[in-house]
Amino acid sequence: MEVAILGATGLVGQIFVRLLENHPWFKIERLVASERSKGKKYREIAEWVSDDTGDIEVESLEDFLKNPDVDLVFSALPSSIAGKVEEKLAEKIPVFSNASSHRYEDDVPILVPEVNADQLKLIEFQQEQRGWEGFIVTNPNCSTAILMLSLKVLSEFGLKKVNVATMQAISGAGFKGLSALQIFDNVIPYIEKEEWKIENESRKILGFDFEMSAITTRVPVSHGHTEAVFVELSEDISVEELRKAFDSFDPLKKLKLPSYAKPIVYKEIPQPKLHRKLGNGMTVTVGRLEKIGKKKFKYVTLGHNLVRGAAGGSILNAELSYRLGVIK
Amino acid sequence: MEVAILGATGLVGQIFVRLLENHPWFKIERLVASERSKGKKYREIAEWVSDDTGDIEVESLEDFLKNPDVDLVFSALPSSIAGKVEEKLAEKIPVFSNASSHRYEDDVPILVPEVNADQLKLIEFQQEQRGWEGFIVTNPNCSTAILMLSLKVLSEFGLKKVNVATMQAISGAGFKGLSALQIFDNVIPYIEKEEWKIENESRKILGFDFEMSAITTRVPVSHGHTEAVFVELSEDISVEELRKAFDSFDPLKKLKLPSYAKPIVYKEIPQPKLHRKLGNGMTVTVGRLEKIGKKKFKYVTLGHNLVRGAAGGSILNAELSYRLGVIK
Amino acid sequence: MEVAILGATGLVGQIFVRLLENHPWFKIERLVASERSKGKKYREIAEWVSDDTGDIEVESLEDFLKNPDVDLVFSALPSSIAGKVEEKLAEKIPVFSNASSHRYEDDVPILVPEVNADQLKLIEFQQEQRGWEGFIVTNPNCSTAILMLSLKVLSEFGLKKVNVATMQAISGAGFKGLSALQIFDNVIPYIEKEEWKIENESRKILGFDFEMSAITTRVPVSHGHTEAVFVELSEDISVEELRKAFDSFDPLKKLKLPSYAKPIVYKEIPQPKLHRKLGNGMTVTVGRLEKIGKKKFKYVTLGHNLVRGAAGGSILNAELSYRLGVIK
Amino acid sequence: MEVAILGATGLVGQIFVRLLENHPWFKIERLVASERSKGKKYREIAEWVSDDTGDIEVESLEDFLKNPDVDLVFSALPSSIAGKVEEKLAEKIPVFSNASSHRYEDDVPILVPEVNADQLKLIEFQQEQRGWEGFIVTNPNCSTAILMLSLKVLSEFGLKKVNVATMQAISGAGFKGLSALQIFDNVIPYIEKEEWKIENESRKILGFDFEMSAITTRVPVSHGHTEAVFVELSEDISVEELRKAFDSFDPLKKLKLPSYAKPIVYKEIPQPKLHRKLGNGMTVTVGRLEKIGKKKFKYVTLGHNLVRGAAGGSILNAELSYRLGVIK
């Protein structure tokens, strides 16, 4: 399938390109960015790419929209412009979006294949309701995406309550998001709308209500969001049972999706520098699991914010859709 | 009063010296360290000190113990050797210790003046029981000390439950505690015994039982521990009431202790780089306070781990004891 | 004397304020910034200031220029707008500028009091030529200012040639100058026009021609520029003679300028974290001095880029001018 | 050929393993470390390795020496013990060593294949003189290795003089070499013996005498040494000629050595974060080339200290020796 990447020159856009080079199902045909990059060869922006991708001339969003002749669109657009552009494209083409613009609409899935593959069924409803031939599928906010995998396992035992404190990497704020003097030697416990996103996306993804509260912070780490999690369940299981549930969680193994990796790996002391690249960035790490009371546990999880938390998640969504025949 | 500082060349020991230079009540007479530093002028170790302090010749612990002729001892010894040394000295002399060796003994107070000044009464009991003329007073572990001030305010409303995730500075591990490659671009969610200390010291200091669980991490910040806190109270107060309680918390103002500063200052976005030095390192910052449910709140607090969390706390303990006539 | 600070909310502007609070000769009367800060109390921008300074309402440059009724102006304006503004003000008022706009004009001194106090005489010439009552005195670019002090000492032995490689701090680029992802885990060997500035300002300041070449880099350090220097002299002196010349360099001691500190201190291994604050930021450190051939030496020097390299240098210039009666 | 890696668990040792996994000529048979790691599977130390390598049981140096039955040894031993061990092994087996112990002996080559392949001829002399069947070939110190490639190109035009200031990465000091508090927010302009090594190894490798002086510093960068270089030649060439000489430098292309990559790539602004991995870590980057006077240039070069500067260099030496039939 021929694909276009919107926002191809940003941090997330570049990860889309990196992950889609040599993809067995999807072929990068068009790279779309702002007017500023229009006409440049992609290798001027990202010198590590293959000859084929490097030769692609970046086009402006305006030009692309005049003739969006691809089978599939990946969107890494800023939320401020993603809303309308994605709607326009979805009239004809499937759009897999990393932007938050449509996440909270009832007929748009926030998809994490290992967690809520069943929400793909929303697409039919979305198409009917909106009269579209294409559709929009979103992936969650980065820190939510990383957290979802362990919460899915926990939900098997009746998830009642979650307190989570995140330590998020600089790259989550975009290339120019944080000045060096702001974050150097610092922890900044404020990320705009992030806590709201984690709390609300989590409930929509898991599909049931539970108590959840997040404190989100930015720390001087390049890539990889770490999250300290306290949970309360409705069943009283042992730490061994839970550990076993984490270890055996491998729900989509049989589908052989190209980007799929074992979703959770357990390490005694999970650390972003050591573990963010596991499973080519698609695996999250869980560790330091302890039982802290009847039905209560604490643990630490982490994952690559730009892969599992952004581009990689979106690609896995497209792979699932393709495998299940939702896109043809 | 003439004081000795044990472990004077370490990170905490140097903060003791810095804070006690020009102290109105205490005069540094003796600086004690390991055999390795014996005989050096203190200015060879810490070039920023005054002429008087710089001229003091560092003596070995062994030599000091032969003739510990001072009114007061501050101990920044490593826990591995603090136990016996402090006991020996306490037979005759008041010892204010930053080591954990004696913290968990029933007749030894873990003192935070603003929180549990009443525990000073344990000293009389300690002296009787052990037949000592001196005594041992400890201050808490650094991350506990910082957390105690806000928890004290919360305890006025019936503290039932605390989940806390810490983001602790490199300097908390000592000068050689972490190698650069370990912590660079990393978060390490493991600090030996730290979670146990926070949970158990907190209950001893506040003097009642409550549910508490901590996840402690090390982040690439030089100084200042940041803590993300989720609490549940037995009373249902408003966020304004709680904010007001934080703002008005100033319990020892009247005692005019030299190192005392307003214990809590509220900032919208507390950050170690900006706020760790408030109140000369004795003030903790609280911020991002939100109500997250009936009787439930979340907030962030931070403080200087080497001052409020170590040397400064110990000095305040000595000042309180002196003011109240416990040491003469 | 009543002073105004232009650009008072930027990094350098804030250092001006910090250094001028409680200054014995100069009193901060007016704080001037962009339209965006107009009307704010200064304490909203810099919470650490005294009550008096905190109470000052920031005014816009436009408003200030309508009524610039002060005895002295310190300018931390960006070079893009400093040129005309400073000229306008200098018609009536002495302007001490940290901007590069006028540095390279023949009748404007680039002043470093310990190095070329005699260039103050240019002022009379400047006033005559331009018909001004006030004048403009500039201080050098930050990395030049730090380097000048050791080069002055070397020039006593016939400075023939300098190769210098700088390792400059993040704060030299301004608060938003570098994004965290750019400089994190990186060295960036490019700073716009910096090498040209060092080479040309050095010759103008020292007042004679010599071979000079600089490579300037940005490193992940908050404050303090470090410089590795290779020099060739016309005299063949010993390392001891040169070391002695560094140690005894103290040319303005007798003037008792409030901001003056011994200009050079020698340390075996100069390091920005340990030494940038010596002399309240006005002292540069020299170290690792070695003779590497006949008439050839290498050494390392460093200094605080925002103090010695910017605001502090400018204030020392004003103090010298005041002491010598150039401003009254 | 079956190879053993000595010091296989250290930073350099792990890079040896990473680079030799799937090597077409060399097969890792034995992994040797200190007594402490004896008996552990290698995957317990380095979890990223392949199944085959992960299954290898680490043996102690003592055990290995009893039966060193391999075709080739790579040594990443600390210099303190490398001397005698390597000599003992070289009686029978070729040893490619990253240690400095034998570098300065007349009959031991410091080999950089692109620079002084002809020094391989020393081996025959070494074997005769010492009565060995094997031999020792060393690679240079990390910062020397990176610098050699550009200096080789310059030497074609008569290299007369070099001043170099290095900005070296933390990993050059080993895993525990620098504490986090030492290097955080700091530049440390002292690395033991490093300046001596650069100056003396450079002359031995290039095979002629020239003036050279180095100032070496440690900066807060994980991997990649950056070097600011000032040179003087005996010929007066243009910057274009020199640039062309850098671009066309590709001396061993025809040998098709597995680890060989184009040795020099030119980038406008070389940066360790962006360029240290070029050529799989074997390519050095040169940039910012400017002519600064008649016969004088300045430029910046950088390379991966653990690959080009250590393990990769040593492997390239072995590949060259194998290709040329020196080892069979």
Reduce the secondary structure of A200-246 to three states and give it as a string.
Answer: HHHHHHHCCCCEEEEEEEECCCCCCEEEEEEEEECCCCCHHHHHHHH
Q: What is the rounded CA–CA span in Å between residue B21 and residue B43?
A: 13
| Maximal CA-CA distance, chain B | 61
- B178 and B299 fall within a common domain: yes
Which phi and psi angles does C218 have, rounded to 5°? -105, 135
Q: What is the rounded CA–CA span in Å between residue A243 and residue A162?
A: 18
Residue at B328 is within a domain = no
Would the CB atoms of D222 and B184 count as touching at under 8 Å?
Answer: yes
Specify the number of domains making up chain C. 2
The answer to whether the beta carbons of residues C162 and C213 sit under 8 Å apart is yes
pLDDT digits (tens, 9 = 90+) for C187-236: 999 999 999 999 999 999 999 999 999 999 999 999 999 999 999 999 99
- C9 and C45 fall within a common domain: yes
The sign one gets for the Cα dihedral C176, C178, C182, C185 is: negative
Sequence-separated (6 or more) residues with CB below 8 Å from residue A254: none
Report pLDDT for B49: 87
Report pLDDT for D243: 98
Q: Which long-range contacts (CB under 8 A, 24 or more apart) does B89-93 make?
A: B89/B65, B89/B134, B90/B130, B90/B132, B90/B134, B90/B135, B90/B136, B91/B131, B91/B132, B91/B133, B91/B134, B92/B68, B92/B132, B92/B133, B92/B134, B93/B68, B93/B133, B93/B134
Per DSSP, A57 falls in state B
Closest CA to C71 of C96, C88, C98: C96
Catalytic residue chosen out of the listed positions B23, B102, B223, B225: B225
Residue type, D23: H
Secondary structure class of D83 (helix, strand, coil):
helix
Interface test with C, best of A184, A219, A221, A222 (most C CBs within 10 A): A184
Strands D27-33 and D59-60: parallel
Please tell me if residue B208 touches chain C, with a CB cutoff of 8 Å.
no
How far C46 CA lies from chain A's nearest CA (Å)?
Answer: 15
Does residue C299 carry a pLDDT above 90?
yes
- D198 and D119 fall within a common domain: no
How far D37 CA lies from chain B's nearest CA (Å)?
Answer: 19
| Helix-helix angle C312-323:C11-20, to 10 degrees | 40
Residue at A25 is within a domain = yes
Catalytic residue chosen out of the listed positions D142, D223, D275, D304: D142
Q: What is the rounded CA–CA span in Å between residue C186 and residue B19?
A: 36
Closest CA to C258 of C30, C22, C53, C29: C22
Residue at A328 is within a domain = no
Would the CB atoms of C189 and D272 count as touching at under 8 Å?
Answer: no
Would the CB atoms of C180 and A185 count as touching at under 8 Å?
Answer: no
**Nearest neighbour of D190 by CB, restricted to C213, C230, C269:** C269
- B129 and B148 fall within a common domain: no
Residue at C328 is within a domain = no
In C, minimum Cα distance to A185 occurs at C222
Catalytic residue chosen out of the listed positions C142, C223, C275, C304: C142
The answer to whether residue B275 is catalytic is no
CATH number for the domain harbouring residue C244: 3.30.360.10
pLDDT band at residue B175 using 50, 70 and 90 as cut-offs? confident
In chain B, which residues have their Cβ closer than 8 Å to the Cβ of C184? 185
Please tell me if residue A185 touches chain B, with a CB cutoff of 8 Å.
yes
In chain B, which residues have their Cβ closer than 8 Å to the Cβ of D175? 179, 181-182
pLDDT digits (tens, 9 = 90+) for B127-173: 999 999 999 999 999 999 999 999 999 999 999 999 999 999 999 99
In chain A, which residues have their Cβ closer than 8 Å to the Cβ of C178? 179-181
In the sheet that D27-33 helps form, which strands lie side by side, from edge to edge? D59-60, D27-33, D2-6, D72-75, D94-97, D135-138
Q: What is the rounded CA–CA span in Å between residue C211 and residue C202?
A: 10
Would the CB atoms of C272 and D167 count as touching at under 8 Å?
Answer: no
Distances (CA, A) of D192 to D33, D143, D188, D195, D218: 25, 13, 11, 8, 11
- C267 and C228 fall within a common domain: yes
Q: What is the rounded CA–CA span in Å between residue C76 and residue C91?
A: 18
Which phi and psi angles does A129 have, rounded to 5°? -60, -40
The answer to whether the beta carbons of residues C131 and C113 sit under 8 Å apart is no
Interface of B with A in 309-328 (CB under 8 A): none
Report pLDDT for A49: 87
The answer to whether residue A225 is catalytic is yes
Q: Which two tokens stand for residue B310?
A: 């170590």
Count the residues in chain A: 328
User: What ipTM goes with this model?
Assistant: 0.96
Q: What is the rounded CA–CA span in Å between residue B296 and residue B224?
A: 26
Expressed as residue numbers, the domain containing B42 is 2-140+311-323
Residue at D328 is within a domain = no
Using a 10 angstrom Cβ sphere, with 0-12 exposed, 13-18 middle and 19 or more buried, the burial of residue B130 is middle
Q: What is the rounded CA–CA span in Å between residue A61 and residue A86?
A: 11
Secondary structure class of D240 (helix, strand, coil):
helix
pLDDT digits (tens, 9 = 90+) for C117-143: 999 999 999 999 999 999 999 999 999
Report pLDDT for A46: 87
pLDDT band at residue B213 using 50, 70 and 90 as cut-offs? very high
Please tell me if residue B208 touches chain D, with a CB cutoff of 8 Å.
no
Report pLDDT for B272: 98
Alpha-helical runs (H) found in chain C: 11-20, 42-45, 51-55, 61-66, 79-90, 113-116, 122-130, 142-155, 180-183, 194-206, 239-247, 272-275, 312-323
Report pLDDT for C293: 97
Would the CB atoms of B180 and D185 count as touching at under 8 Å?
Answer: no
- D92 and D175 fall within a common domain: no
Q: Which two tokens stand for residue D178?
A: 């620098």
Report pLDDT for B328: 79
CATH number for the domain harbouring residue A102: 3.40.50.720
Give the number of C-alpha atoms closer than 13 A to the C-alpha of residue A165, restricted to the C-beta side: 28
How far B78 CA lies from chain C's nearest CA (Å)?
Answer: 25
Q: What is the rounded CA–CA span in Å between residue C109 and residue C103?
A: 7
Please tell me if residue C184 touches chain B, with a CB cutoff of 8 Å.
yes
Q: What is the pTM of this model?
A: 0.95
- C109 and C215 fall within a common domain: no
Catalytic residue chosen out of the listed positions D23, D102, D223, D225: D225
Q: Residue D180 belongs to what H/E stretch?
A: helix D180-183
- Ranges of residues in chain D with a pLDDT under 70 are none
Residue at C242 is within a domain = yes
| Helix-helix angle B239-248:B142-155, to 10 degrees | 120
Residue at A123 is within a domain = yes
Report pLDDT for A34: 94
- pLDDT average, residue stretch C160-183: 95
In chain D, which residues have their Cβ closer than 8 Å to the Cβ of B183? 180
- Measured between its terminal Cα atoms, the distance across chain B in Å is 9
- D170 and D252 fall within a common domain: yes
Would the CB atoms of C226 and D292 count as touching at under 8 Å?
Answer: no
Closest CA to A265 of A164, A167, A153: A153
- B114 and B226 fall within a common domain: no
Report pLDDT for B176: 87
Report pLDDT for D43: 93
Q: Which two tokens stand for residue B65?
A: 């113990």
Residue at C243 is within a domain = yes
How far is C-alpha B183 from the chain's CA centre?
24
Secondary structure class of A259 (helix, strand, coil):
coil
Per-residue pLDDT of chain A (328 residues; tens, 9 = 90+): 999 999 999 999 999 999 999 999 999 999 999 999 999 999 998 888 888 999 999 999 999 999 999 999 999 999 999 999 999 999 999 999 999 999 999 999 999 999 999 999 999 999 999 999 999 999 999 999 999 999 999 999 999 999 999 999 999 998 889 999 999 999 999 999 999 999 999 999 999 999 999 999 999 999 999 999 999 999 999 999 999 999 999 999 999 999 999 999 999 999 999 999 999 999 999 999 999 999 999 999 999 999 999 999 999 999 999 999 998 7
Please tell me if residue C270 touches chain D, with a CB cutoff of 8 Å.
yes
Please tell me if residue A183 touches chain C, with a CB cutoff of 8 Å.
yes
Q: What is the rounded CA–CA span in Å between residue A137 and residue D35?
A: 55
In B, minimum Cα distance to A192 occurs at B269
Interface test with B, best of C43, C44, C45, C47 (most B CBs within 10 A): C47
How far A182 CA lies from chain C's nearest CA (Å)?
Answer: 8
Give the E-state strand segments of D169-293 in sequence order. 211-218, 225-233, 264-266, 284-293
Does residue B225 carry a pLDDT above 90?
yes
Please tell me if residue B209 touches chain C, with a CB cutoff of 8 Å.
no
In A, minimum Cα distance to C179 occurs at A179
Please tell me if residue D220 touches chain C, with a CB cutoff of 8 Å.
yes
Interface test with D, best of A18, A43, A45, A47 (most D CBs within 10 A): A47
Q: What is the rounded CA–CA span in Å between residue B60 and residue B38?
A: 5
In the sheet that A296-303 helps form, which strands lie side by side, from edge to edge? A211-218, A159-168, A225-233, A296-303, A284-293, A264-266
Sequence-separated (6 or more) residues with CB below 8 Å from residue A135: A90, A94, A95, A123, A126, A127
- C36 and C133 fall within a common domain: yes
Secondary structure class of D247 (helix, strand, coil):
helix
Please tell me if residue C190 touches chain A, with a CB cutoff of 8 Å.
no
Q: How many helices (H) and strands (E) does chain C have?
A: 13, 12
Q: What is the rounded CA–CA span in Å between residue A99 and residue B242?
A: 37
- D284 and D316 fall within a common domain: no
Catalytic residue chosen out of the listed positions C23, C102, C223, C225: C225
The answer to whether the beta carbons of residues D168 and D177 sit under 8 Å apart is no
How far D175 CA lies from chain A's nearest CA (Å)?
Answer: 14
Would the CB atoms of A271 and B189 count as touching at under 8 Å?
Answer: yes
Q: Bridge partners of B290? A: B298
Per DSSP, A37 falls in state G
Please tell me if residue B268 touches chain C, with a CB cutoff of 8 Å.
no
- B190 and B222 fall within a common domain: yes
Alpha-helical runs (H) found in B249-326: 272-275, 312-323
In chain A, which residues have their Cβ closer than 8 Å to the Cβ of D184? 185
Q: What is the DSSP string of C238-293?
A: -HHHHHHHHHT--TTGGG--TT---SEEE-SS--HHHHTTGGGGT-EEEEEEEEEE
The answer to whether the beta carbons of residues D17 and D314 sit under 8 Å apart is no
Residue type, A159: L
Does residue C244 carry a pLDDT above 90?
yes
Closest CA to A168 of A229, A98, A224: A224
- Measured between its terminal Cα atoms, the distance across chain D in Å is 8
Q: Bridge partners of B73? A: B4, B95
